Structure 1
Amino acid sequence: MLRQRLAAVAIVLSALTAPAIAAEPIVGAYYPGGSFERYPVSNIPADTVTHLFYAFARIEDGRCVVANDAPAHFKALARLKQQHPELRTLISIGGWEAGGFSDAALTDESRKRLVSSCVAMFFDTHRGSFDGVDIDWEFPVYGGPKHLPARPEDRANMTLLAKEFRRQLDAKAKARGQAYLLTAALPAGRMQSAGPYDPARSFDLAALGETLDFINLMTYDMGTAFSTVSTFNAPLREVADDPLAPELRRTNNVEGAVDFYLEHGVPADKLVLGVPFYGRGFRVDSAANDGLYQRYREPYAAGDWRDIQSKLLKDGKWTQHWHPVAQTPYLFNADERVFVSYEDPRSIALRAQLAKERGLRGVFMWELTGDDDQRSLLKAMAAPFAPGATR
């Protein structure tokens, strides 16, 4: 009897001291439903992508709605999942200029109505198409498009909304004997529509880190039309020459944004690092410094990597540069005084490697259809998290 008791104690102690099994790494991809005709669901590289986020569902009258052609896309997703059972698909609700969040999250009743409508649509009506929900509220409290309603209580209500999604998804999962994911896309850029921006004023980051399965950290859009000068879209590290105020500059880069979220209570293994498959451009006033950190007249539509590679990089009017601190390429057209920040396979690989070295859950991109036909950016992004990859 004593020997049996000692053996039982040994088993318990072994379980308590054994290292935790690491969660499978995430290679995530946002897929815009509007790209279906030129990039059908059947083209999605489900042998590389582990988590696919369909963008977007919207909120109207406090309930989830989708575009008229979305149900056909959802059926295609279900077929893709049957062919690739390990692929996890999530419906992303919201996006830039998506309204309805502040009102729908305002009360317990309104939150339950929104969530129940979303759960019914995506896990009953379109059962088999999705494994979870991704909340993309841009942004509670302030910083989002100026025409959308925003309230001081949005910060707390975002947490309550996430908890309501968690409650209803868990109930559905228990009834069906399966698990459903809950994630959110959260911002990193420190300049938004209202000027200087602090993500911690919009989101209770520690609380969301507890409630969500993981957070897609949007470590891009750090240089946009809201910036005061031409700058990088996703600099890897802080650049001392950047004229942004020091208190903003410290976290307006990939590494600094990760540090910010960690400092605000989000565990590293709940963070998935975002990389952009598109560029940002500016029509600058001066050719000084090859267009970098200059006042500008207006933004320039640089397009995605596919466009930049096939057009700008093959045009001799654009000079190519690499910044040793930001660890990113950029272009300058001196004749037209246009500066373009973008990412290529080299810079994407560096960001993915940083995610691996910092112990983050994985990487994701906005968005899948911006890659070239060889999937150069996706391959660079996924490489550090491939089976057997080393640091």
Structure 2
Amino acid sequence: MSTAGLQVAIKNHTTTSHPSPHILYVVQVSTEQEQCQVLRRFSELYELHLSLGDQYNFPPKRSVPNSLLPRAWVDDELIAERKSGLEEYLTNVLNDPKFAGSTKIAKFLSDNKVDAIGDPEMSSFGMLRQVVLQGDAPKDAEAKRPVAAAYYTSWSAWSNPPSKIDFSKFDILFYAFVVPNSSAKISWDSGSQDTLRSLVSSARKSGKGTKIVLSIGGWAGSYWFSNSMSNNDNRQRLANDLIGAVNSFGLDGIDIDWEYPNSEGSGNPHSSKDASNLLTFIKILRSRLGWSKIISAAVPHQPWLGPDARPMRNVSDFAAQMTYNYDVSGGAAPPGPNAPLGNACNKPKFSNANAQAALAFWTASGFPASKLLLGLPLYGYVIKSSATKMSASLVDNVENMGKHLIQGTYKHEGGDNELAPAGDLTHLYGQQIGFNQLVSMRALKRQQDGSYVGDNGYKRGWDNCSSTPFLFNTAKSTFVSYDDPQSLAMKAQFAKQKGFGGCFTWSLDQDDGVALQNAIRKDLGLK
């Protein structure tokens, strides 16, 4: 989107006595659709001029009297001269293609001093900032580096406390979950706020720069999303709670895991207006959080359903406001692949539910690959079956399992697994199982070279159609579809080759130490 045609007006000013008496100029920037304003000191405009090194004329830097005498703010001639000169200067800079995408301009125009004119939802300065930045988020060297992220679940704190996390392996951790409630506010599980404080504290003390983002929703936590998004009062109320949490805990952003807009998910109320209401809500968050914070969403392999109950064909408005979308790679079904990379064998039921297809769906709808993170599962499914190879059955059997797990947000409660005989997974039929459980329950064992093979009667197989491994034990009628270092590395390599923003995993506590995360990082090109 061209920056040409931005209108700048500086007609008014105000004063403040903090930290010392000075003038604030009301800078108004507008397009045909948006009109927003921000208050700026002369010195802030001058600093922008110096940092850009531009050649445009800038008003002389002469002092305005700022004593406490009545005349302190009435040097009308100089103030009027400055307004005219600053207006001309900003008009030139903002419409100069050379500065399109400038993070310096973006920072100058969008921080906590922003005040939107008109409807705060539809005329947020965050929207206007996208015009200045040609419809994209801030561009810097860090944005080109792939992101390695993971979900950290509040209920795993007892087995994997924040103090034991190797933060050097994670650029972002998404803390799961808070949930929207019937009052359009957020609810916390018992003890989860203490865990979050510990997570933030541990991350900061590590010095590794890991960002902590609060995730709202999840498979079992999306019941009140549609209601919370349904009107302006509810949206503002939910935004207030989330922004309050960001400020209170010192967080780096908000992740929205709504399963799913205009779709019932786990029997949830939904509306044909869900997707448009979600976009409005995201704009509220962006306008109030500014651009230093992450706003992300976990999504299915096709775009959200629009008012016609079909996947949206244009999600570019979402992309303009969001830092990342988390693009996941398929579902699970007995005895189908866990998370197919592709559909090399052209099996009809795998045609849409794979990473390659998901990338095509989202990018064709206007969401750039650089803002997508590929979702990678650190879990598998235990299936009662005597099969020794993958089946073509995928979609039909997802429903038979009774748990739609395409988002990877099913809360596995565990159980008395340690009491089962080595390699016996029969009590887990139809359930999700973490990779580290496969190891601890001795269905898998790690070899000296870091690879994993079957143990206690299990044999490891490989499905070329989906590029995923599986385990089978015919004597126990047990089949396991899962992912391991080899398959995850292939997905990470695909993400890097296709220009994804990076990868994320569900969930950190299911790794065997950091064996899986190391494999992902290596093929993302990270140390």
Q: Matches of 1:143 and 1:257 in 2, distance apart?
A: 21
Task: Report the Cα distance in structure 2 between the residues aligned to 1:336 and 1:243, rounded to whole angstroms.
Answer: 30
- The equivalent of 1:271 in structure 2 is 372
Pairing 1:180–2:320 present: no
Structure 2 length as normaliser, TM-score?
0.61
Cα distance in 1 for residues equivalent to 2:374 and 2:154: 22
The yes-or-no answer on 1:385 pairing with 2:507 is: no
Assess, with a 3 A threshold, how the Cα gap between structure 1 residues 289 and 66 changes in structure 2: closer, same or farther.
Answer: same
| 1:189 CA displacement | 7.5
Counterpart in 1 of 2:343?
238
Superimposed CA distance per residue, residues 46-74 of structure 1 (whole angstroms, 9 cap, x where no aligned partner): 11201010000111121012122122112
Query: 1: distance between equivalents of 2:273 and 2:469?
Result: 40
Task: Tell me the residue number matched to 1:306.
Answer: 436
Q: Which has the higher contact order (CA 8 A, sep 6+)?
A: 1
Contact persistence 1:292–1:339 (CA under 8 A): no
Question: For the residues of structure 2 that align with 1:131 and 1:276, how far apart are their CA atoms?
Answer: 24
Query: Any conservation in 2 of the 1:28–1:51 contact (CA below 8 Å)?
Result: yes
* Paired AA for residue 430 in structure 2: Y
Alpha-carbon distance, 1:359 to partner: 0.8
Give the secondary-structure state (helix, strand or coil) at the position aligned to 1:293. coil
Task: Give the length in aligned residue pairs.
Answer: 351
Q: SS state of the match for residue 518, structure 2?
A: helix
CA contact (8 A) 2:172 2:212 kept: yes
280, 283, 304: which one pairs with 1:163?
283
1:155-192 deviation per Cα after TM superposition (whole angstroms, max 9, x unaligned): 2111112112212212xx7xxxxx211111111279xx
Residue 200 of structure 1 corresponds to which residue in structure 2? Answer: 311
Shift of 1:322: 0.6
Matches of residues 62-81 of structure 1 in structure 2 within 5 Å?
Answer: 62-81=184-203
SS at match of 1:162: helix
User: Shift of the alpha carbon at 1:278?
Assistant: 0.2
- Distance in 2 separating the partners of 1:265 and 1:281: 37
The normalised TM-score by structure 1 is 0.81
Percent of paired sites with the same residue? 27
8 Å CA contact 1:291, 1:338 repeated in 2: no
Instruction: Give the Cα separation in 1 of the matches to 2:435 and 2:321.
Output: 34
Q: 1:277: how far off?
A: 0.3
Whether contact under 8 Å (2:390, 2:463) holds in the other structure is no
State the shift of 1:253 in Å: 0.7
Instruction: Tell me the equivalent position of 1:359.
Output: 499
4+ residue runs over 4 A deviation:
11-18, 294-299
Give the match for residue 293 of structure 1: 392
CA shift at 1:292, angstroms? Answer: 2.4
Give the direction of change, closer, same or farther, for the CA distance of 1:37–1:358 in structure 2 (3 Å limit): same
Alignment of 1:95-110 (within 5 A): 95-98=218-221, 99-110=223-234
CA distance in structure 1 between the partners assigned to 2:487 and 2:157 by the alignment: 28
Distance in 2, Cα, partners of 1:64 & 1:13:
43
CA-to-aligned-CA distance 1:352-384 (integer Å, 9 cap, x gap): 1111111111111000000012x1100011113
Contact 1:187/1:199, CA 8 A, preserved across alignment = no
Q: What SS is found at the alignment partner of 1:200?
A: coil
Deviates more, 1:32-41 or 1:157-166: 157-166
Q: What is the deviation of 1:308?
A: 1.6
1:4 corresponds in structure 2 to none
Per-residue deviation, residues 317-364 of structure 1 (Å, max 9, x unmatched): 322111123111011222343322111111111111111111111111
**Partner residue in 2 for 1:215:** 325
Instruction: Give the drift of 1:205.
Output: 2.9
Alpha carbons 1:300, 1:338 under 8 Å: kept: no
**Which of 37, 50, 62 is the equivalent residue of 2:158?**
37
Change (3 A) 1:82 1:288: closer
Matched, 1:280 2:381: yes
How big is the alpha-carbon RMSD for the aligned residues of Structure 1 and Structure 2? 2.9
Distance in 1 separating the partners of 2:432 and 2:460: 14
Say if 2:204 is the partner of 1:82: yes
**How far apart, in 1, do the equivalents of 2:302 and 2:321 lie?**
23
Per the alignment, in what secondary structure is the counterpart of residue 392 of structure 2? coil
Asked which structure has the greater CA Rg, the reply is: 2
Amino acid at match of 1:106: S
Cross-structure match for 2:107: none
What SS does the corresponding residue of 1:163 show, helix, strand or coil?
helix
In structure 1, distance between residues paired with 2:97 and 2:389: 62
Q: Contact conserved, 1:218 with 1:275, CA < 8 A, in 2?
A: yes
SS at match of 1:118: helix
- The 1:335–1:241 alpha-carbon spacing in structure 2 relative to 1, beyond 3 Å, is farther
